[in-house]
Amino acid sequence: MNKISLFEPNVGRIEKKLVIKSINENQISSYGYFTNLLEKEVKKITSSKFNLATSSGSSALFVAFKSIGIKKDEIVLTQSYTFTGTTNAIILNNSIPLLLDISKENLNLDLDNLEKFLLCNTFKKGKFIYHKSYKKKISCICLVFTLGIIPDLNRVKKISKKYNLKIVFDAACALGQKYFNKSLTKFCDVAIYSLNGSKNITSGAGGIISTEKFKYYDFALKFSNNGKILNAYDYKMIGFNLKMSSLNAAVGLGQIKRFNYFKKKKKKLKEIYSKELNPIKTFNTKFEWGNYLPWLNFCILDDPKKRDNIIKALRKKNIMVSKFWLPMHKQTTKKYFLLTNFKNTQFIYDRILVLPSSTFLKLKDIKKVTGIIKNSYFNK
């Protein structure tokens, strides 16, 4: 029985050719020129002024928080519904993630709830805001673009200005997205993307730090190069080796060349899923603005039990779906976070069905998946 995974990388002839080229030219380490080449090419996708290639999305996040200068014991507001890399990066910077609820409509930080939280739970001292109970400075909001969905970024920017908060976008799942044709970094201090095997394009393992501000880029560049500023063995600051290798960049460069093809495939997959799953009652999300590039396709079932039965039925047929992200407030690591209420997060976690979305899937594969879903849903 053929296995269908949630997502598998689609690596082809072009990537193989570039990997062989990087080996033949001995350009395989983090000092090779393929990494610089990838940064130039990725700029055409992000439209951000500065782009730095790192070893992973997680390391990009770690460096992003460092670059904007969050300090020990400062609070970073983020969502519980995310991948652990988001909160790990905050904690490894000695700061404290305060987790908030998401919106049922777009699975991103609930901006009504965020504004209510800021209004009721903070006080201003000098230029900054502090949490009323914990008496700690709140320095940053980290938005996570769940499944590649972008929320109302004009409103995010207004909130950040009003409360003097830095903004980081965890856009790990959203490479290729714009906000009404504007680069995402026009609305934040730093955005990061992941290029791991499951993302819109992959370099095997990799990440991108994008920003409009030279000072953040310059810090990130030096920090991720072990603190090297001028010549070899001349270190003026503490850093770590977090750069992408040229070997990985060769894979990524090949994927960038095929990105238009992947985008078309992703849009087609979304259309087929929407059509095939139309008879099923789902909770309607409201985030469409025309140029949305789906990362993984998904639907939100009306009934949690039905969702769980569908997952069982699919797994029986070797279709590897799961309940997707376990919210951070439900993890063993929850003791590291400040918690609030998570009504919508729970609602989504109980009902979401994330669908196989590899770009090489054929119509017959999708029909197999949707057939099992419909049979299970209608109890046939």
Q: Which residues bind ligand PLP (CB under 6 A)?
A: 56-58, 61, 82-83, 85-86, 144, 170, 172-173, 194, 196, 207
Between 163 and 325, CB nearer to ligand PLP: 325
Tell me the closest approach of the beta carbon of residue 192 to ligand PLP, in angstroms.
7
Cα gap 117→31, rounded to integer Å: 46
Between 195 and 319, CB nearer to ligand PLP: 195
Between 144 and 299, CB nearer to ligand PLP: 144
Between 57 and 294, CB nearer to ligand PLP: 57
Between 57 and 151, CB nearer to ligand PLP: 57
79: three-class secondary structure by DSSP? strand
User: Closest residue (Cβ) to ligand PLP?
Assistant: 57
Tokens 């991720």 -> residue? 224
Tell me the closest approach of the beta carbon of residue 68 to ligand PLP, in angstroms.
17
Phi, psi of 287 (to 5 degrees): -135, 10
Between 255 and 376, CB nearer to ligand PLP: 255
Cα gap 82→146, rounded to integer Å: 7
Tell me the closest approach of the beta carbon of residue 134 to ligand PLP, in angstroms.
25
Phi, psi of 228 (to 5 degrees): -75, 130
Output the CA–CA distances (angstroms, integers) from residue 287 to 47, 105, 108, 256, in the order listed.
22, 7, 10, 26
319: three-class secondary structure by DSSP? strand
Tell me the closest approach of the beta carbon of residue 61 to ligand PLP, in angstroms.
6
Between 93 and 194, CB nearer to ligand PLP: 194
Cα gap 289→311, rounded to integer Å: 29
Element (H, E) at 115: helix 111-121
Under the phi-then-psi rule, with left for phi > 0, alpha for psi from -120 to 50, and beta for the rest, what region is 180? left
Tell me the closest approach of the beta carbon of residue 295 to ligand PLP, in angstroms.
9
Tell me the closest approach of the beta carbon of residue 86 to ligand PLP, in angstroms.
5
Tell me the closest approach of the beta carbon of residue 198 to ligand PLP, in angstroms.
6
Apex 151 CA angle, 324 and 194, nearest 5: 55
Q: Which of 326, 322, 327, 299 is nearest to 311 (CA)?
A: 322
Up-side HSE of residue 227: CA atoms within 13 Å toward CB? 9
- Contact, 12 vs 258, CB < 8 A? yes
Tell me the closest approach of the beta carbon of residue 197 to ligand PLP, in angstroms.
8
- Contact, 65 vs 89, CB < 8 A? yes
Read off the amino acid at residue 34: F
Between 250 and 277, CB nearer to ligand PLP: 250
